Chain A
């Protein structure tokens, strides 16, 4: 049987919420390193190649010394660029290492305390709350508030504002800008991690690119509103929707012809794109089949599953998918840490009295001898309504409980203190909940009560 109440602090198990704190800078360091490695490798190969071809061409008579020098300058330029890039990555590396050190320091403080009642623990826990809040704000996209809070509390090194800002930008570009490029770049930067993770973010992004090409193609060929194409592209054969009467007899002017050509080109592009990125085996055949079917169905055809592939809600799906992938890659839990901590905390603190119709004798706002319970306080009361309350196997009551004639139970000591403070006449008692205006009883009417 565990202890009912305990102030013992076990630092090791207390770190449950803090894994992302160390994982994040590590993941960023790794990313940073990979980026350095890639740049160095690419430039090295390019420079070596340039140099050897320069050496070869310089032996032939056709090259002039001026040309050689010019080529050398180009190579030098590449190397300078490499150096600049590495230097900026080195700065980033230093910053990340600093923040890792700060975080380790912060967590290490926990090991020097052994009591939850320690003032140092309270301070530490307040810092942790600020961290959790910043994390929550960042996840909700309240970037400005997050960085404001981080700087107000001086915990910039303990939170990852920059990383979230970057992720948020990409998410926004998907959700609002409807552009896959930033997300695809991100995929490229993290290709290795993503491969290990599995997941279909990149495929989905490529698929979206394809969908957009097909959409543009159809819009070009048919006009955005759904005009029919008389010439009858062979791709369209077998599709039974004919809306001939709409465009019947209208002569195609030059502009329209151009538009159609562009549309056909787009559809061509789409097929090339599909061949390159949506090759068989890159996903299950079902979705690939659907993708192929898109060529036959126009964006305005109310035919499933194609309509939902064309639907703008796919962008929201992509944005969410990106965030989930991003969080998993950086070992961030899918839900804000604040939610996790709070829902555990609300349950641990909640008692049946917190949402009771009766004013609790032991914690209420009406007397100065009691403190307001955090769950009863306005901030959390509604929020806690749906969480389970804490389990107790033993009663917890004030020592020496007595009962007033109205059925309220108080610790004898607290009742006496209250009555002294409000100046109740000697020999009489008042109920702290009712206050000085309330009823008063003779002291003899107060009875001892036994709570086992």
Chain B
């Protein structure tokens, strides 16, 4: 990269058109002077003209010659580029499965823009995309061509309701803004309270976390909207106490321990800083945690993942590309094709945070479990794939490949990971 930078700097600094422009200006000056001379002495015109032929031609030649450094600079830069990308060909896309579903991509982009809070861009995009729907251009190797799905159709039918989605995400960003920058918990608490039964069923304690934070806020001297109250800090604990009495009722059962802890802190009210409760009260990370758990819950209730899938997929794609490219080269060398269209032929190392589902690979057949070939647990607790089980048992009593346990095939149970 440093090489590139130096070369561009060179182009910017010295090898640019400004020298030639100066040369042109010099010629213009010469011509102007000549014109003045001829205007002053018309009789000497032939002489003046003849005398100036060579200097002007030289001037123009110089202007052309001064382009040379640019030419050389660009050539050098081009060579460096070639060198850098020599072993990095542009990924070819012969198996571009996505090209047959342009409207699905458009939909994914629209949702990405909405969830990123780029509402203006999203509305520009939606109107442009509705006006000019893209045509699918399946590549030769595409396994399943166009399926007659249409995002524009969805828009018209209301199954893709961008207005609704925008409204939802609008609300989310409003609440997050209040939470993060204004330190105002009210909108978030209201949102969580309206959905408390759903959240509770999910095992989410978002509402409690928010109320707890509200209590702390009051305790250290802010009002219900997160605005610090000047002057009477001593009243903070009292207000918090009042808040706890009025709001903590529903939490008594599930969060008895936490409520007790907060109440215990009241005893240290004059000097929380040096109390064992300090970590509850002065914890800035708590805000970020609450904000991110809010985002996660919000998206989950919409059936969406918390981070933009487009972002995760594109990043994973960039991580996977070198491996896939290597594979492509090897296959080209050996003149082989993929034998399985359902599964990639190589393993792609992704960071652990990119593993979402548990994966079951049968220890016997080394195949991944699918709906047709699910994992089966034998009574001894070992799990193998259905097909392996059938093969080993042949329908009769058999021994587990991993322990001395014996069992009947019918005793094996399907498990879900």
Contact = CB atoms under 8 A, between A and B. Distances in A.
A441 to B, nearest CB: 15
B64 interface: yes
Contacts of B4: 22, 100, 104
A345 B312 contact: yes
Contacts of B91: 16-17, 333, 340, 344
10 contacts: A44-B60, A54-B49, A80-B28, A83-B25, A97-B11, A108-B1, A335-B96, A361-B417, A367-B202, A388-B338
B314 A132 contact: yes
Interface string B301-320: 10111111111111111111
B5 interface: yes
A432 interface: yes
Contacts of B357: 351, 353-354, 360, 362-363, 373
Contact of A2 (B35, B132, B204, B349): B349
- Closest 5 A-B residue pairs measured CB to CB? A345-B317, A374-B309, A65-B42, A373-B356, A345-B313
B395 to A, nearest CB: 22
B140 to A, nearest CB: 12
B322 A59 contact: no
Contact of B356 (A331, A363, A437, A448): A363
B21 A83 contact: yes
A374 B300 CA distance: 11
A119 to B, nearest CB: 12
A447 B381 contact: yes
A324 to B, nearest CB: 12
B351 A422 contact: no
A338 interface: yes
Nearest to A17: B318
A395 B361 contact: yes
Interface string A1-32: 01111110010011111011011001001100
Contact of A58 (B49, B354, B415): B49
Interface in A418-437: 418-419, 421-423, 432, 435-437
A407 B414 contact: yes
Most buried by B among A40, A117, A133, A376: A40
Secondary structure at chain B's binding surface: helix, strand, loop or mixed? helix
Interface stretch (A139-147, A157-165, A269-277): A139-147
A292 interface: no
B213 interface: no
Contacts of A354: 357
Contacts of A419: 203
Given A14-B322, A55-B53, A389-B344, A148 B203 contact: no
Contact of B297 (A142, A368, A393, A422): A368
Interface in A361-413: 361-363, 365-369, 371-380, 382-383, 385-398, 403, 407-409
Contacts of B21: 83, 86-87, 90
A407 B414 CA distance: 6
A128 interface: yes
Interface stretch (B73-81, B224-232, B268-276): B73-81
Given A345-B313, A376-B305, A449-B381, A5 B355 contact: yes
Contact of B358 (A82, A98, A397): A397
B28 A345 contact: no
Interface in B68-102: 70-71, 74, 77-78, 81, 85, 88, 90-93, 95-102
Given A335-B96, A352-B370, A372-B306, 6 more contacts: A86-B20, A340-B321, A348-B320, A365-B300, A374-B312, A409-B415
A452 B363 contact: yes
A19 B84 CA distance: 9
Contact of B45 (A16, A52, A58, A90): A58
A287 interface: no
Given A26-B74, A368-B204, A373-B357, A90 B90 contact: no
B68 to A, nearest CB: 10
Contacts of A448: 381
B34 A72 contact: yes
A28 B38 CA distance: 43
A391 B348 contact: yes
Contacts of A137: 109, 125
A391 B344 contact: yes
B182 interface: no
Contacts of A380: 108, 309-310, 313
A51 B50 CA distance: 9
A126 interface: yes
A75 interface: yes
B406 to A, nearest CB: 16
Given A129-B314, A373-B305, A104 B5 contact: yes
Contacts of B350: 5-6, 348-349
Task: Name A's interface SS.
Answer: helix
Given A58-B45, A340-B321, A371-B305, A391 B349 contact: no
B303 A360 contact: no
Nearest to A403: B415
Contact of B346 (A20, A331, A391): A391
Interface in A117-174: 117, 125-126, 128-129, 132-133, 136-137, 140-142, 144-145, 148-149, 152
Given A68-B38, A352-B368, A450-B402, A333 B310 contact: no
Interface stretch (B116-124, B173-181, B277-285): B116-124
Interface in B287-338: 293, 296-297, 299-301, 303-325, 338
Interface in A29-88: 29-30, 33, 36-37, 40-41, 44, 47-48, 51-52, 54-55, 58-59, 65, 68-69, 72-73, 75-76, 79-80, 82-83, 86-87
A167 B21 CA distance: 29
A236 interface: no
B404 interface: no
A129 B348 CA distance: 20
B311 A125 contact: yes
A342 interface: yes
B314 A16 contact: no
Contact of B341 (A37, A94, A388, A398): A388
Contact of B16 (A51, A90, A435): A90
B31 A421 contact: no
Nearest to A352: B370
A229 interface: no
B105 interface: yes
Nearest to B133: A140
Nearest to B383: A451
Given A76-B31, A129-B311, A377 B67 contact: no
A11 B160 CA distance: 39
A52 B42 CA distance: 17
A59 B46 contact: yes
A111 B84 CA distance: 14
